Structure 1
C-alpha cells in the first residue's frame, strides 16, 4: 500500500498527517516518528481530481502542483476572488504569531478556527462576520488603515516562535489592535462587529508555556494536549536549530515530536538538535516508515533559521 503524503491538517484542534486516498494519522506530542522519502515527488492534482500526468514537481516547491493543476486550483479559489458569489458567511480575524507580528485575514465561518491553526497563529481574535465581499472590503480597509499585512512569511513565524512572550502580553496586543479596528469608519455595512475574545493555540501547538494556561475568560484548546506536552522542557516552546524545506529520494527524517504549528512539525533529533520540518514539502512524496529509535540519523538537507526580520517567502492569502 502506497502512503503518499497529502499534508498536515488540524481537524479537531490537533495535528494530523493526511495521505492520498483520504487516510490520516493523528500525531501525539512526545511520540517518536520516522520516515523515508521514496521515488519522485508527484503533483497532487486540483479540486479533488488527480493530476492526469502524475507530473513530477520540484522538491523545494511549497505547492505540490504542476503548472496546469495550479492554474485550475487557483481559478476556483476564494483567495483569488474566483468565487465572488459564495453564499457562505465569512469572518474577519486578527492573527498573532509573535511580539509585533500580526496579520488580518478572512475565513469561511464554517471552518471556525481551523484556518488559524493551519497558519500557525499562536493567538487570534475575531473582528467581524458577514458576506464574502463585505469581509474582503473590510479586510482591505483594516490592512491599509492599521498598517497590518494580510500575509506573513512562514520564515518569520518560525523565527519569532522561539521567543514568545507570556499570554497576558499576547492578549493585550491583540486587544489593543482590536479596539483600534472596530472604531474605524468605512466598515462594510453588511459586516457586523464581533465582541472581543482572545483565543489561545499554545496548548494545541505543544508549546510549553501552555502548561500554565491562559487567564480566566480566555478560550483555550485541548487540556489533554497540555497534559501530554508537560515536562517536555524548554525546547518545546518553539525554539529550533534548523529547518527542513526539501526532501530527497531516500532521505530520512526521524525524531521525537515536541511541537507543531501551521504546516510545521518540531522534531527533537538524535544529535540533540530541534528541527522544524515544513510539511508542505512532504506533500506529493511517498513516505515509508523507518526505525526511529536512538541513533536514527537525519539525511535530508537542513537549513539555518532566518532571523526574525528576514525571509521573503510568502504565506497564503488567508
Structure 2
C-alpha cells in the first residue's frame, strides 16, 4: 500500500505549509519550502479518504475533479459531526468570530474553534484577518447571522474567486484598511442584536501574504518569479505528473513554476485519495489544466 495525500496543513506556529500523508493508520507530514523542487505522479485509481479518522470500508472510487474525495456514505458521516454544517450545536468549546479578507471588496465573516488559532484562516487562503469576538458556539453563530443581515457580509466565498484575485493584491495598508472599516461597522452593532454572551475582541489585522509567499522578494510581479499563476490543475489522472519549483502556497493551493508550462496552481484537495509517487525534475505538467478564473470547481464549504 502506498502513501495517500490527505491535503495541505497550516500549523498554527507560522512555520509554513505541510503536505500531509497517510498509509493505513500511519501518518506523516512533508514540510514545504519555497524555492525548492516539488514533483509527483498519480498512480492507479483515486479512492475515498474515509471520514472521522476511519478508512472507507469499500475504498470507493471518487471523481477525479472532486475537491471532497469522499464517497456519498463517508460524506454523510463527515457532515454528521461538522460544526460548519451546523450538526453539533451543543459543542462546549469556545469559538472565535473573525473577519477574513481575500481581495478588494471580498470579505467574509466566519467562526473557528479558539483552540485552532489562525490555522483555519490560512486553510481558507485569507490574506488578512482580524478577530471580532469570542464565546459559546451559538453566540458566535448568532454574530454571523447579525453581520449577514445588518451589513450584508457573506459567510462563504467561492474558492475560485479567491484564487482569481490572489495575483493582483493591493498593498498591506489598503488590505488592513478594508478589514478595519468592516470591523468598525460590526462594532457599531452593539445593542442591535449583538449576542451578549460574545466577548468583543480588539481589532488587529494579521497579514498572511508573507507566510503564503505571495508578496515580497519573489512574490507576484517581483523579480525571481513569473507574474502570477497562469493555469490551475482541474484533476489528476493515472500516470499524470506535476512538477516544478514551489513559489507560493495559500489555502489548499500550491503554486509551482513549471518552466515552459508557466506557473501552475495545484489545489491539494485534488491530490487527496491518490497514491502518489515522486516525479523527477523536468517531468512538467501532464494533467488537465484550465486558465485561472476559467471555471474551477467549488464543492467545499469555504
Q: What's the TM-score bracket when you normalise by the shorter of the two chains?
A: over 0.9
Indicate the residue corresponding to 2:215 in structure 1.
Answer: 208
Indicate the residue corresponding to 1:245 in structure 2.
Answer: 234
Q: Do the aligned residues in 1 keep the contact of 2:220 with 2:226 (CA within 8 Å)? A: no
Indicate the residue corresponding to 2:244 in structure 1.
Answer: 255
Indicate the residue corresponding to 2:254 in structure 1.
Answer: 265
2:277 corresponds to 1:288: yes
Indicate the residue corresponding to 2:179 in structure 1.
Answer: 174
State the TM-score, normalized to the length of structure 2: 0.93
Indicate the residue corresponding to 1:118 in structure 2.
Answer: 123
Q: Do the aligned residues in 1 keep the contact of 2:146 with 2:193 (CA within 8 Å)? A: yes
Indicate the residue corresponding to 2:265 in structure 1.
Answer: 276
Distance 1:92 1:152 in 2: 16
Indicate the residue corresponding to 1:5 in structure 2.
Answer: 5
- Extract structure 1 runs of 4+ deviating beyond 2 A: 229-238, 310-315
2:110 corresponds to 1:101: no
Q: Do the aligned residues in 2 keep the contact of 1:8 with 1:17 (CA within 8 Å)? A: yes
Distance 2:273 2:180 in 1: 40
Distance 2:290 2:75 in 1: 27
Distance 2:97 2:226 in 1: 28
Distance 2:220 2:108 in 1: 32
Indicate the residue corresponding to 1:165 in structure 2.
Answer: 170
Count of residues in Structure 1 that have an aligned counterpart in Structure 2: 295
Distance 2:256 2:202 in 1: 37
Indicate the residue corresponding to 2:21 in structure 1.
Answer: 19
CA 1:90/1:50 → structure 2, altered by over 3 Å: closer, same or farther? same
Indicate the residue corresponding to 1:316 in structure 2.
Answer: 301
What are structure 2's unaligned runs of at least 5 residues?
Answer: none
- Report the 3-state secondary structure (helix = DSSP H, G, I; strand = E; otherwise coil) of the residue aligned with 1:170: helix
Give the strand-richer structure, 1 or 2: 2
Q: Do the aligned residues in 2 keep the contact of 1:162 with 1:237 (CA within 8 Å)? A: no
2:292 corresponds to 1:305: yes
Give the helix-richer structure, 1 or 2: 1
1:101 Cα deviation from its structure 2 partner:
0.7
1:8 Cα deviation from its structure 2 partner:
0.6
State the TM-score, normalized to the length of structure 1: 0.88
- Report the 3-state secondary structure (helix = DSSP H, G, I; strand = E; otherwise coil) of the residue aligned with 2:256: strand
1:23 Cα deviation from its structure 2 partner:
0.7
CA deviation string 1:41-62 (max 9, x = no partner): 1111111111100111110011
Q: Do the aligned residues in 1 keep the contact of 2:80 with 2:87 (CA within 8 Å)? A: yes
CA 1:176/1:244 → structure 2, altered by over 3 Å: closer, same or farther? same
Distance 2:226 2:301 in 1: 25
CA 1:59/1:75 → structure 2, altered by over 3 Å: closer, same or farther? same
- Report the 3-state secondary structure (helix = DSSP H, G, I; strand = E; otherwise coil) of the residue aligned with 1:68: helix
1:85 Cα deviation from its structure 2 partner:
0.9
2:13 corresponds to 1:28: no
- Report the 3-state secondary structure (helix = DSSP H, G, I; strand = E; otherwise coil) of the residue aligned with 1:133: helix
Q: Do the aligned residues in 2 keep the contact of 1:152 with 1:315 (CA within 8 Å)? A: no
